Structure 1
Amino acid sequence: MNQILTVADAVTAFADWIEPTDAELDAIDAEMPVIRAEMELLDAQIITIDRTPTELDERRIRRARRRVLAAHRDHVNGVGGQTGGAA
């Protein structure tokens, strides 16, 4: 006779193996400034979806884009978690 396995049993059977490692969590923490900057840019863009952007909206989007670029630069250069280093 064949065993019938529910989907829940199949998913939870390996639950301990699915958890992120400490190294993966550290990588996510290091990338959080980039994620936050991208979220701010997305929020600024969402505001202007259903209307014509005002001058203030355009400035908000430009500043958010600059923050994203700066966050990416800092992340790639490894500046994010360091203190007192040259940028």
Structure 2
Amino acid sequence: MSDIVTVQTAVTAFADWNEPTDAELDAIEHEMPVILADIELLDAHIVTLDRTPTEIDERRIRRARRKALAARVGLTNLSAPASGVGA
């Protein structure tokens, strides 16, 4: 008869120390507008996977694409260090 042994990596994969840190959670919260805009863009594309996009579908995709781009620009502007003339 062979003994059943637990796999160490499977046991430690769910350890308490494997949770996200406060800094990681803050970074996710900071990027949430970009994440939500990307989800909206994916949803707009998913709707058109099994059919030919209508004019309304194309508008929805364009609007979602602009929103995702604006969210990325906003995040980049918030993340970029302020550089002034003579700084």
> Which residue does the alignment assign to 1:6?
6
Identity %: 65
| CA RMSD across the alignment | 2.0
Aligned residues: 76
Q: Which runs of 5+ in 1 are unaligned?
A: 80-87
Q: How big is each residue's C-alpha offset from its partner over 1:11-45, in whole Å with a ceiling of 9 and x where there is no partner?
A: 34361221111000000000000000000000000
Using structure 2 for the length normalisation, give the TM-score. Answer: 0.77
> Which residue does the alignment assign to 2:71?
71
> Which residue does the alignment assign to 1:34?
34
> Which residue does the alignment assign to 2:62?
62
Using structure 1 for the length normalisation, give the TM-score. Answer: 0.77
Runs of 4 or more above 3 Å deviation: 9-14
1:70 Cα offset (Å): 0.3
